[in-house]
Amino acid sequence: MFRKLLVVSAVLLTAACGSSPTDTAAPPASAGAPAANAFPVTVEHKYGSTTVKAEPKRIVLVGLTEQDSLLALGIVPVGVTEWLKKYEGAINPWAKDKLNGAPLPTVLVDQNGPQFEKIASLRPDLIIGLYSGLTQEAYDTLTKIAPTVAQPKQYNDYGIPWQETTKTVGKLVGKPAEAEKLVADAEARIAKARQDNPKFADATGLMATMWEGYFVYGSQDPRSRILTSLGFKLPEKLDEVIGDKFGASISKERVDLLDQSTIIWLAATAQEGRTALDGDPLYASLKVAKEKRDILLDESTDVGSAASFISVLSLPILLDALVPQLAKSVG
C-alpha cells in the first residue's frame, strides 16, 4: 500500500510541476471543429462512466489501436502506447499521411501497466484505453492525472470492435457524425467483398498464430470479427474451449479446431510459419493442410501488421490483400 501511495504522489507531483520537456510541445493538429453542443459527453465503461466537459486538446492513449481512430478524425494524440514496435512514433504506414505535418506523438510502453509518471508529464486532458486490459488499480491511478475512459464492460478485455472504438473516440472528441461516416464507409467496403464472394457464407474460418503452441483467437477478437463480417462462421464451441479471453493456446487434443474451410496464420515470417506447420505431423494430417487451404500472413509486412492492428484505417490494406486469398482458399 505504501508503494502505491508513492506512485500516486509522484504522478500528481509530475503533473503539477510540468517540468518535462514535453510540456513545451504545441498542441496536436486538429482538422475541423467539434459538433455544436458536443460537450459535455459521458461514456460508460468497465469501471463506471467518464464525462468529458470540453473539447480535449491533449489526448494520451493507453489502449493499443485508438490512434487510428483519432487520426482518421484529424486529431493527433500527444502520447500513444506502442504495440507493434516497428513504426516510428507508433504511427502505422496506412495512417501516416493523417499526421498532416504534425509532430509524432510521444511513445509509451505498457510493461505490467501504464507508465504513469511519463503520462502525467504529457499533461493530458483526456486518457483513452478502449482496446486495453486496464485493471481497476491502473484506472484509479490514471483518473488522478486526467479523465480516463477504460475498455467497455460488454466485451472481453482487448475485445472492443473497431466500429465501437471509432464511434466512441468520435463522441469523446466531439465528432460523432464524422465517426459514424467513417464506420459506414468501411462497413460498405466489407459488405461489397461479402457480396462478391457468396461462398464465404458457406465456409468456416479461424485466425491463429504460433505462440505457445497454437494460439487461436476467439469470437470477440477483432481478427475473428473480420472473418465473420465477411460471412465466415467460426468453429463451433470455439469460445467454450478458450474461455472468456480474446484468445488462447489450445492443447493437442483440440487441434481439430484448426480443421476449417480455411485458417489464417499470423507468422513472424511466411517462410518460418510454413516450415513450422509442415514440420508438425499432427497439423499436416488435417484436411485444411492437405488441401492447402491455409493462408499465411507475414507479420513483418504491412499487411501482416494490419491483420492484428485492425482499425478503420487499416481495413482497406487488409481487405485488398486478404479477400483474394480467402476467395482462392474456399473456391
Cα–Cα distance between 292 and 289 in angstroms, integer? 5
Question: Please, what are the domains in the chain?
Answer: 2-183 (3.40.50.1980), 197-330 (3.40.50.1980)
Peptide bond into 281 cis (omega under 30): no
What local confidence, expressed as pLDDT, does residue 244 receive?
Answer: 83
What local confidence, expressed as pLDDT, does residue 282 receive?
Answer: 93
What local confidence, expressed as pLDDT, does residue 251 receive?
Answer: 87
Mean pLDDT of 46-54: 98
pLDDT tens for 297-316 read 999 999 999 999 999 999 99
Cα–Cα distance between 317 and 300 in angstroms, integer? 15
C-beta neighbour count of 256 within 10 angstroms? 10
Complete edge-to-edge strand list for the sheet that includes strand 262-267: 247-250, 214-217, 205-209, 262-267, 294-298
Mean pLDDT of 52-68: 98
Cα–Cα distance between 12 and 117 in angstroms, integer? 8
pLDDT tens for 12-32 read 444 445 444 444 344 554 557
Burial of 277 (0-12, 13-18, 19+ CB in 10 A): buried
pLDDT at 212 over 90: no
Residue 239, C-alpha cell as written in the block = 469460445
pLDDT tens for 153-186 read 999 999 999 999 999 999 999 999 999 999 999 9
Please, are residues 263 and 329 in contact by the beta-carbon 8 Å criterion?
no
Cα–Cα distance between 177 and 173 in angstroms, integer? 11
Closest CA to 178 of 64, 318, 38, 39: 38
User: Could you tell me the end-to-end alpha-carbon distance of the chain, in angstroms, rounded to an integer?
Assistant: 60
What local confidence, expressed as pLDDT, does residue 31 receive?
Answer: 59
